[in-house]
Structure 1
Amino acid sequence: MRTEIVSEPGDPDRPNEDFAAVGLPASGQGGAVVVLDGVTPPADGTGCRHSVPWYTARLGGALTELTVSLPDVPLSDVLARAITRTAGAHAQTCDLSHPRTPQATVTLARWTPDVVDYLLLADSALLVESPDGTVTALLDDRLARIPAAARTSDAVIDATLRNKEGGFWTAAADPSVAARAVTGTLPRDRVRSLTALTDGAARWVEKFREGDWSQCLALVRKEGARSLVARVRALETADRDRRAHLRRSKTHDDATVVHAEP
């Protein structure tokens, strides 16, 4: 099995709010990819004494452990358990009912000898490559469907639309959100590779239109995940004033790519 993980902060002076891991069971049968993109908090706080990287590290760690150790448990249930465990770690010290309590997007993929299960919550992407080279992008596009009038940028969105009907969903402190995730199962023999990208890395396709998802995967396969992130950084720098891509809330965003060939 081949795996590659690249995760870089958008600003070297700020901690990376993304999380990435590849989990492998002791049996050697199967594995999992876990990618989170922490939601940058507003300036007026979150009701929590902990940082977003604290949250993503704990939720990501719980997801990696549970996804691998509970191969027969649906991924939505795995996510609910991980959220519950993480909430329990700071429920006594923080206001977890605050609408901007630390939260993250979630991308999970788990493979066994027979199937590949996947789960997506919010705006990261999972690219599935078939044995014949066909690339399918699995997405939770509910954030992209938010009306333009309700947003001023990628990150500044009417708070009433976060984790609400008619809006979009992220993993925060309420485990019931796991039931809102996009999930599915594919035959294992139809999957050659899996590539998970946070939206900071997916900008190469979604914002800068440098190529489609198939070309994005071809770039990762040929030059490596670090090359994709480097290209995104160059495009961001060249468009620093954001005039060409006005819906970028940040010049540089945290960018994570995990590529696995099970």
Structure 2
Amino acid sequence: MRTELASEPGDADRPNEDFASVGLPASGQGGSVVVLDGVTPPRGGTGCLHSVPWFTARLGGALTELTVSLPDVPLLDALSRAIARTAEAHAETCDLSHPRTPQATVVAARWNPATVEYLVLSDSALLLESPDGAVTALLDDRLARLPRSALATDALVDATVRNKEGGFFTAAADPAVARRAVTGTLPRQEVRALAALTDGATRWVERFHEGDWADCFRLVRKEGPQALVDRVRALERADVERVSLGRGKRHDDATVVFVEF
């Protein structure tokens, strides 16, 4: 098995809000990948005493442990338990009902000799490569399908579409959100390799249109996850007029995990 991981903050002076892990059980009979992209809140209160990295470390750590220690529990149930465990850790000190309580996007994949199970919640991506080289992008595109008018201001997003029916969902403090994720299971023989990417890395496809998902996967396979992050950083620096970046951050935290079975 080959595993490679790269994760880089968008700003060297700020903590990386992404989380990534590869779990390999002692039995050697499978493994799991967990990738979270912490949602940077706007200036102002979040109702929480804790930072986004605090949250992603705990949620990601809990989800990693559960995917490995409870191999028969579906990923959506593992995510639900991880959210509940994390919420319990700060429920007494923080207002978890605040729309900007710490939260994150989630990608998880788990494999054993028979199957590959996956889960995607919000705008990170999971790419699967079949034995013939075909690449399938597993996406939760609810945020991308919203009209720009619905995303005009942070206040409007929080009031109308964030973790609301008809909008989009992230892992925050409500365990029930896990059932909003895109999930599925495939035969193990149909998957040769996979890559999980936060949206700071998917910019290569979605913002800069340097290639499609298959091109992106081939780049990661051939040159490694860090090469994709480096390409994105070069494109961000070159976009002086913000033609592709628009109102987005100049640089975002970027994480890529590659696994070849």
Please indicate the TM-score interval, normalised by the length of the shorter structure: over 0.9
Q: Give 1:45 deviation, angstroms.
A: 1.8
**Paired residue type of 1:36:** L
In structure 2, the partner of 1:252 is 251
Contact 1:194 1:259 in 2 (8 A): yes
Number of residue-to-residue matches in the alignment: 260
Q: Unaligned regions of 5+ residues in structure 2, if any?
A: none
1-structure distance, mates of 2:244, 2:117: 37
Contact 1:128 1:136 in 2 (8 A): yes
1:74-109 deviations in whole A, cap 9, x for unaligned?
111000000000001111111111111000000000
Secondary structure, counterpart of 2:106 in structure 1: strand
**Paired residue type of 1:79:** L
**Paired residue type of 1:47:** G
Contact 1:156 1:249 in 2 (8 A): no
1:5-35 deviations in whole A, cap 9, x for unaligned?
1000000000000000000111111000000
Q: Give 1:240 deviation, angstroms.
A: 3.4
Q: Give 1:62 deviation, angstroms.
A: 0.3
Secondary structure, counterpart of 2:72 in structure 1: coil
Secondary structure, counterpart of 1:87 in structure 2: helix
In structure 1, the partner of 2:47 is 47
2-structure distance, mates of 1:250, 1:192: 34
1:203-237 deviations in whole A, cap 9, x for unaligned?
00000000011111111111111010000000001
Q: 1:234 to 1:103 in 2, by over 3 A?
A: same
Contact 1:30 1:110 in 2 (8 A): yes
Structure 1 segments, 4+ long, off by >2 Å, are none
Contact 1:240 1:251 in 2 (8 A): no
Q: 1:107 to 1:156 in 2, by over 3 A?
A: farther
2-structure distance, mates of 1:10, 1:108: 22
Aligned pairs (5 A) from 1:120-139 = 120-139=120-139
1:138-192 deviations in whole A, cap 9, x for unaligned?
0000010111111248x88611200000000000001010111110000000000
Q: Unaligned regions of 5+ residues in structure 1, if any?
A: none
In structure 2, the partner of 1:98 is 98
In structure 2, the partner of 1:11 is 11
2-structure distance, mates of 1:117, 1:243: 37
User: Are positions 1:210 and 2:210 aligned together?
Assistant: yes
Contact 2:35 2:106 in 1 (8 A): yes
Q: 1:105 to 1:157 in 2, by over 3 A?
A: farther
2-structure distance, mates of 1:6, 1:109: 17
Contact 2:3 2:260 in 1 (8 A): yes
Task: Report the identity percentage.
Answer: 74
1-structure distance, mates of 2:155, 2:17: 17
In structure 2, the partner of 1:36 is 36
2-structure distance, mates of 1:135, 1:72: 27
In structure 1, the partner of 2:199 is 199
In structure 2, the partner of 1:163 is 163
Q: 1:116 to 1:71 in 2, by over 3 A?
A: same
**Paired residue type of 1:259:** F
Q: Give 1:243 deviation, angstroms.
A: 2.9
Contact 1:128 1:195 in 2 (8 A): yes
Q: 1:133 to 1:161 in 2, by over 3 A?
A: same
1:93-140 deviations in whole A, cap 9, x for unaligned?
111111110000000000010000000100000000000100000000
Q: 1:103 to 1:93 in 2, by over 3 A?
A: same
